[in-house]
Every structure is written in C-alpha cells, then in structure tokens.
Structure 1
C-alpha cells in the first residue's frame, strides 16, 4: 500500500493510526488508497504494540436469562462512553467452558474482564489464573478467594424488603425457589430469606426450599409440585423473575389465582415482569448502576503494592405489583416502590 500511495511504510502507519506528524494532504491520500485497496488494519498487531486492544471481555452464565441480557446491554453502553468494545461470552453455566472462555479472552489481549462466575467455588481456579496485568471485576455473582473487585446488590436487604412486604400482606408461611446452592446469589438470597422469614414469624419447612435452575422450566416444575401439595403456602419467593414466570404459567393453566390463592415475588425486575399477568412484584436490580461501577473499577489505573479490592453492593428496590396485592379502587396497574 505504501508503494501505491508513493509514501513510506512509516508514513502509512502514522496516517492510519492518527499518530505522529503527517500532513492533511498525505493523510487523505493514504486513506483514499487504503479504501481503494480494501485495506483493513491488524488490530491484534496494534494491540501488541500499544498493549491496549480497546476490547473488554464479558462472561455471563446464560445470555438467555433476561437479567443478564439487560446487564450486558448496560455494560455495552458504559463501554461505548469510554471508547471500548464489548466481547461477550456465554459460559452456559459450565465451569470448564467458562475457563476456556477466560483463556480465549486473555489470548485476545483484552483490556479487562467482567465476569459473573457460574459456580461459587469451582470458578475460582480459572479466575486466579488470569494475569494480574488484566483487571477483573466480578459482577452480580461472585466467588471468594480471588484478588478481584465485585459489584452487585445487597441480597440480604432485598430479602428483608420482600419478607416485610409479605408479612404486611398477611403471609404466615413461605416457600423459597431458586437455582442450585452453588450459585452465590442463591446462597445470599436464601440466607436473607431464612433470616427475615424468622424475624416476621413466617414459617418455612425444610421441604419449602426448592433449588434447581434459573429457568422458566424449573418454575413450571415447582408450580406442578406445589399444585400437587395438599397445602399451599401464603407466598412463593423466587430468586429470579424467570422462575416466577414458570410458576405463573403452571398456576394459570390450573386456574389457581395469584394473588388470591397464593402471593408470588420475583427478583431482577426484567422487562416482562411489568407486563405479564399478573404483573410481578419483584426486586429491581439497578443494571445501569452496576455496569457503570464495574466499568469504572475495571478502568482504574494499576496501583503498586497490595490493592484493597472493592466490594460494592447497591441498595435494592422492591417494586410492588399485582402478584402480591389486590388492585385498590380498580387501578390494576398501580406500582409502589420501596428503597432501602
């Protein structure tokens, strides 16, 4: 290309990269020749030279989960503001695949990694194998024993809001439905559920803890199990909205009223929570705030010596909708918000 433009290779490099001294006339000529030849720059080579690729890797357990879809969208928006591009990976809840994704991101010379680990224990090895030169921030879910920052929500406070509201609505018995206990979010939410159900005198039996997957299908299975049980609880507390959607589907098919027969709560406040019937009372996760703080922490310049790693927990909001309250004065769309 340098020959076609009748300039040196060094001039071509400066013109295309926008660095160094090149006249505007020469720059336009080089860009014109590059366009005519269909030239594309080698981003990997540039990354090796500059030690910055402009790319940030992100790994989530399941992109089909609408909460992670919203979180990814927020992260991409924040990265655009700082001139970086997102490289998204789905670990599919598989620790081995997650480790391969992490290695692939390292080999791609990403500027940083945002990850929601799929396993609260087994993900630690791959995370600890990431070179210290690559900043890592755990987002939403986390593993302990790693030298990384974490950004998420105060899950215990969220359960306090849920159980307090359920008690105010007259609940005296409850069931908790979430993913496997190896998930850090489930662990924290279950601990908060047990603590605050006891505080409010809401009974919980050992069989009332049902752990499976963050999926609509798991919610349907739980719904069928509860429908077959001789006694329905007063409230079903779900660790994710998508589980609650499955329960709503099962109960609707059986013509069991929510909230007339049983109250139901979710977690995340995904887009469909407000439009499903009945609309879902749920804990709102501030995805924009989570993303902005994660990108900020990842973008901080490296410090010498031992770094105190940040643990940032945002306050939850309880969004009260039809699934726990009967409409007042005929207003079926009334929504109340409670913040901690």
Structure 2
C-alpha cells in the first residue's frame, strides 16, 4: 500500500506541512519534530512523489539524452561523463538510443517533452532539422547539442574540431613518410563525416598529393565496415601504405583485415583512428588515434545544459554558445614509418 505525506504526519503526530519542511529542507523545524518525522518515514517506508513535487515546482530534475548508437564506445564514454556531472547537480538522466533513425529520434523527443524533462542533450543529427526544431519550438526546453550539429535548432553546441583532428591525423602519417593514404569515412550524410574527410583532403593537398578516387571509402561507423573496406583497399589498391579512419571502430576493423591478409601493422600498413576511445589502447597492436577526454566532453555538455536550465528558470537570457574541443594525437603501435 502506497503511503502519503498525511500518513507520515499522522504517525509522527505533526502537521503535513511540517513533514514537507523536513523532507524538502524549506524551513527549520525543531529537532524533536525532525526526529519524529524521520522515524515515521522509516517505519512506513514512505517515498516522496517526484511527480507531485514536479507539479509544484515545474521541475523534474530529469535530463533527456539522445544518442545515435549506444554500442559505439564513444557514446558510452560520453554518457558516463553526462551522468556523473548530472548526478553531482541533483539530476537524473533518461537515455534514449536512436539508431540514427529520424522517426525514432522524433518519437523520443516528443515523449521526453511530454514527461516534462528539464532539458535535452542531443548527440544525434539523424532527424531532419524541421522535425526536431519544430517539436522544440512547440514545447521549448533548454537544449544542448553534442558533436553533431542539428541545423535550424537554436541550442548550445559542444563539439570536437573534426576537420582539425583529421588533418592532424593525416599530417602525422605524412610526417612518417606516407604519401598514399586512404580514408575510411563515416556516412557522408553526417556533418561530422564530411568535416573529417575535409581534414584528410586538406592535409594531402598541403603536401601536394591528389588522392585517387578509390582511396576514399564511405560507410557506417562500425568495425564491420572498417574490416570490409580495408579488405577492398588491400585487394584493389595495394599501393596504399596508410589508412586514416573516420573513427576508432573503423580503425579496429582495419586492423583485423590487415591481420587476416598477413599485412604487418605498422611495418607494411599504418592505421590511425579518431576519437581516442579507451578500447583502442587494448587491441593489438594498440590503435593510434586523435582524440580527446570523451568523458570530460560529456561532463562539460551536462554542465552547460544545467546552467542553461537554471538561467531559463530565473529568466536570465544569455547568448547561445559553441564550445570547440581540440583533439590531440594519441600515439600507440599502429603507426610507423613508410615501408622502404
């Protein structure tokens, strides 16, 4: 049987307003009354209703977070940072996995808005701008976008310098003497993928290199795609001496393909990824990458969202912000000098 605040008040022999003050810390009560209320709560197993509190305060202390693919370690590490920062500020997190499906993402956004979440954190750009921005215009809520910008949506943005990171990765390979460098790109429908391809092209152009058409392979951000694409490159473009992968999962798949074909890494083929996921340091050989503290990005995004929520509640308008994280080289065993 569910207990109410009135049951607690009756057991403690105090008014229900006194119980409310004790539970919420809204007013000082006598030490004796506080002990009686706490004893009654324990004896009855009373749990305050978060829904009732939210109806009074117009706050749920819940953040809705949408990610494209929770099986990608990048988003798992990102979520850990979000959850850590949110919990430290008294917020819970409602996680939605969208599988890069526009209809699924829109459905989740509508459900989260219906449940009166205090804010949204979007790490997904699958849905068309009109669908997400349209839903949020009908029911405005503080929103922060992570990494993948959503065009047409007024929101704070926390992103990685994707073009600069891919340029850095390619320049590392060029510095090792490589000139025939392939690119395993993610889906080019994503702004993130296009930006990383642009960084690869910029670095090659600065070195006076024009990549052959077959050096660029597009596909999902997955180990299976990296494996299949690298098998194709090894068969069709044996001149390739290095691979710049659009993310670490593609790079891990490339390492597997090289091992299956007896191609030594890095003696015959160098591979570098992007993101710097923790898993990359535990494959063999360890995957070189350009990356950042992914958990710290999640923490920063959550902090920006909570600040936006509090400013909105106190009616303190502030301009939208774009925070850019600069990735750095993470050198492991998968890159080395060009074969003689």
SS at match of 1:96: helix
Q: In structure 2, how many angstroms separate the alpha carbons of the residues matched to 1:274 and 1:245?
A: 10
Aligned residue among 154, 169, 181 for 1:174: 181
Residue 141 of structure 2 corresponds to residue 130 of structure 1? no
Q: In structure 1, how many angstroms separate the alpha carbons of the residues matched to 2:229 and 2:235?
A: 10
**Paired position in structure 1 for 2:89:** 82
Higher relative contact order (CA 8 A, sep 6+): 2
Q: In structure 1, how many angstroms separate the alpha carbons of the residues matched to 2:133 and 2:11?
A: 48
**Paired position in structure 1 for 2:206:** 199
Aligned residue among 315, 329, 333 for 1:318: 329
Q: In structure 2, how many angstroms separate the alpha carbons of the residues matched to 1:33 and 1:306?
A: 43
**Paired position in structure 1 for 2:149:** 142
TM-score by length of 1: 0.89
**Paired position in structure 2 for 1:59:** 66
**Paired position in structure 1 for 2:278:** 271
**Paired position in structure 1 for 2:4:** none
Aligned residue among 142, 151, 155 for 2:158: 151
Unaligned runs of 5+ in 1: 327-340
SS at match of 1:172: coil
Distance verdict in 2 for CA 1:145–1:52, change over 3 Å: same
Q: In structure 2, how many angstroms separate the alpha carbons of the residues matched to 1:61 and 1:19?
A: 41
1:21-100 residue pairs with structure 2 within 5 A?
Answer: 21-100=28-107
Cα RMSD (Å):
2.1
For the 8 Å contact 2:62–2:119, the answer to whether it is kept is yes
Q: Which deviates further from its counterpart, 46-55 or 7-16?
A: 7-16
Displacement, 1:130? 1.8
**Paired position in structure 2 for 1:254:** 261
**Paired position in structure 2 for 1:4:** 11
1:153-302 residue pairs with structure 2 within 5 A?
Answer: 153-298=160-305, 299-300=307-308, 301-302=311-312
Q: Which deviates further from its counterpart, 221-230 or 163-172?
A: 221-230
Displacement, 1:210? 1.4
SS at match of 2:37: helix
Unaligned runs of 5+ in 2: 1-6
- Deviation digits for residues 235-262 of structure 1 (CA, Å, limit 9, x no counterpart): 1111110111111112112211112222
Q: In structure 2, how many angstroms separate the alpha carbons of the residues matched to 1:31 and 1:306?
A: 40
TM-score by length of 2: 0.89
Displacement, 1:313? 0.9
Q: In structure 2, how many angstroms separate the alpha carbons of the residues matched to 1:308 and 1:67?
A: 29
